[in-house]
Amino acid sequence: MDNFEALGIQAGQAICYSGFRDGQQPGGAYPTYNQVRDDLLLLKDHWRYLRLYDCDKHGQTVLEVIEGEGFDFKILMGAYIEAEMNNYNCPWHGGVYSAEQLEKNKKINNSRINKLIELANQYPQIIFALSVGNEACVEWTDHYVPPEQVARFASLVKAKCKQPVTFCENYVPWLHSLDTLVDVIDFISIHTYPVWEYKHLNESIEYTKANYYAVADKYPNKPVIITEAGWATNSNGRGIDPAHVGEEYQQAYYHQLMEWTSAEHIPCFFFEAFDENWKGSPEPLEPEKHWGLFRTDRSPKLTMQQLVSR
């Protein structure tokens, strides 16, 4: 715990926030100031720490709302980096790009890293930590970036910002291929999803613990936090057994996860605040669309109904 406190990361309720509503998506229509304000009003009594995925227009609006409304949120701010190499292991359509697109992506990434630095220095009282990417090194990613390039981004950000720097990634690469990156970053951020690995609820929290401690034990001198862990409430069967999902499952996993991480003082960002219809395939039961504790219309699912009633 002392390592977390030294980095300015205290134990507390944390959640992943992306506020794209029906008809909105990155690169298209973005949530407005008032929509973000309404979202944060729903979240502020339950969570203090928010994780944002990109320093795009949405991320900037969130910062403006927190500052303008005087909300007591602290942000783990990310820069979403695009593919800089082809990944032929990506199991869905994606991961392979033209040489021209890869070169374009490198320029986009440099721009986003520079924007991350700019926002970190503009909002030092709100942004408490910085991430130089999200799931860009795991074997199935459609936006692969070599670990040495991620390490270069981390070094650049560390040289120009006061906040601690991390990289958010599935737990598996931390065990096998990110040793050089670990030497550069200030703390490790892992993702763990038992339901994606066909684990039943009854074995899920022990599996999450095993994922976490495998990484923490490998790097005993580096703080490890969880930046994604959650449970889907619908599935069309692609990647997740429909019999293993639902609001009751999500509620049970949420409480088990919070009980364990609170007892062990492990910072943990639950995935996620709101369902997002833009994600994944067009199928309504696509699991990527159904991880929120709230639906897209902001009505609460079972977990939040219980929390609100307390």
CA triplet 279, 138, 270: central angle to 5 degrees? 55
85 vs 26, 72, 100, 152, CA distance in Å? 22, 39, 11, 15
In the prediction, which pLDDT does 310 show?
53
Q: Is residue 1 pLDDT above 60, yes or no? A: no
pTM, 2 dp: 0.96
Written as six digits, the tokens of 75 are 């942000």
Q: Could you identify the residue written with the tokens 């942000």? A: 75
Q: 90 by DSSP, 3-state: which?
A: coil
Q: Give the whole-angstrom CA distance, residue 282 versus residue 279.
A: 8
Q: What integer is the mean pLDDT of 178-182?
A: 96
Q: Residue holding tokens 């939040």?
A: 304
Say what the pLDDT of residue 309 is: 61
75 DSSP β-pair partners: 50, 127
Instruction: Quote the tokens at residue 20.
Output: 């794209």
Mode of pairing for the β-strands spanning 49-52 and 13-16 = parallel
Q: Among 169, 165, 168, which residue's Cα sits nearest to residue 128? A: 165
Alpha-carbon distance of 212 to 196, in angstroms, equals 16
**Domain assignments of the chain as residue spans, ordered by start:** 2-309
Cis peptide before 272 (omega within 30 of 0): yes
Average pLDDT, whole number, for the chain? Answer: 95
Torsion of CA 41, 45, 48, 53, to 10 degrees: -40
- Asked if pLDDT for residue 193 goes beyond 70, the answer is yes
What are the tens digits of pLDDT across the range 55-109? 999 999 999 999 999 999 999 999 999 999 999 999 987 899 999 999 999 999 9
DSSP state of 83: P
Express as a percent the part of the chain with pLDDT over 90.
91
Among 6-10, 135-139, 274-278, which is the least confidently predicted range? 6-10
The dihedral built from the CA positions of residue 164, 168, 170 and 175, taken in this order, carries a sign that is negative
Q: Which of 139-143, 147-151, 161-165, 235-239 has the lowest mean pLDDT?
A: 235-239
Write the secondary structure of 282-294 as one string of H (helix), E (strand) and C (coil).
CCCCCHHHCCCCE
The Cβ of residue 132 has, within 10 Å, a number of other Cβ atoms equal to 31
> Is residue 41's pLDDT more than 60?
yes
Looking at residue 3, its pLDDT comes to 65
DSSP 8-state secondary structure symbol assigned to residue 52: E
φ, ψ of residue 203 in degrees (nearest 5):
-110, 5
The CA distance from 130 to 52, in Å, is 10
Whole-number Å distance between alpha carbons of 81 and 136: 7
Q: Which two tokens stand for residue 15?
A: 């959640």
CATH of 2-309, one of 1.10.1040.10, 3.30.300.30, 1.10.10.10, 3.20.20.80: 3.20.20.80
